[in-house]
Amino acid sequence: MITVALAKGRLARDATELLEKCGLELSELKTETRKLVLFDGSGKYRFVFVKPSDVPTYVERGTADFGVVGKDTLLEADKDIYELIDLKFGVCRLCVCGYPDSLERAGGILRVGTKYPHVTKEYFGTRGKTVDIIKLSGSVELAPVMGLSDVIVDIVESGKTLEANGLEVLEEVCKCSARVVVNRVSLKTKKELVPLFEKIRANV
């Protein structure tokens, strides 16, 4: 049995499509259900649907053999897992965003609203900039609009959320996309993973 952790939402839908191209029978994954554990047609693969930030945890602990998760989540989680394949979907950018003059206008300590406190600390730390990190869980763009923070570090995909709130990209932290991440022990012991990963690579 191979257990796969998928980040709920769009990444899970794209990952399901990709795994079907690799020959897995995944009709159960496409039915409307509240079940959190689902199986492929052969019963050899078990899928668990979790919050994106929990995918690295399931994989690191070996509860899942591998998972599909965004690079942004992976950077923030900083877990001991193999990042094996860039799937090239779920493409977005992690950026410092704000008003055009937010960085200049801020005082000595820049207030940064973000769902990514570790990535933010690292990014500004390597630039010698002292920051006050304000951890948020969502609607991050609201922080500079309401004066909670000077800037934000957040995901930009279409740019529409920024535009609708009068904000813009000030600096790019990194480019992100979906990745296959694998448990270290599973990669060594579950040999059946090797041909699957080869098929995934061929279908990216």
* Footprint of ligand PRP (CB under 6 A): 138-141, 154-161
144 DSSP β-pair partners: none
Of the two residues 40 and 150, which places its CB atom closer to ligand PRP in the complex? Answer: 150
**Per-position DSSP letters for 100-138, written without gaps between them:** TTHHHHS-SSEEEEES-HHHHHHHHHTTT--EEEEE-SS
Of the two residues 163 and 192, which places its CB atom closer to ligand PRP in the complex? Answer: 163
Cβ-closest position to ligand PRP: 138
CB of 7 vs ligand PRP, minimal distance in Å: 11
Q: Which of 137, 92, 134, 141 lies closest to 113 in space, CA to CA? A: 134
CB of 6 vs ligand PRP, minimal distance in Å: 16
CB of 155 vs ligand PRP, minimal distance in Å: 4
Of the two residues 108 and 138, which places its CB atom closer to ligand PRP in the complex? Answer: 138
Question: Are 12 and 49 spatial neighbours (Cβ–Cβ below 8 Å)?
Answer: yes
CB of 159 vs ligand PRP, minimal distance in Å: 5
- Residue 29 and residue 142: Cα distance in Å, rounded? 35
Of the two residues 15 and 193, which places its CB atom closer to ligand PRP in the complex? Answer: 15
Question: Are 167 and 144 spatial neighbours (Cβ–Cβ below 8 Å)?
Answer: yes
DSSP 3-state percent helix, strand, coil across the chain (nearest 5): 35, 30, 35
Q: In what order do the strands lie in the sheet with 2-7?
A: 37-39, 45-50, 2-7, 66-70, 178-182, 82-86
Of the two residues 33 and 139, which places its CB atom closer to ligand PRP in the complex? Answer: 139
CB of 172 vs ligand PRP, minimal distance in Å: 13
CB of 76 vs ligand PRP, minimal distance in Å: 12
Of the two residues 38 and 140, which places its CB atom closer to ligand PRP in the complex? Answer: 140
- Residue 144 and residue 1: Cα distance in Å, rounded? 47
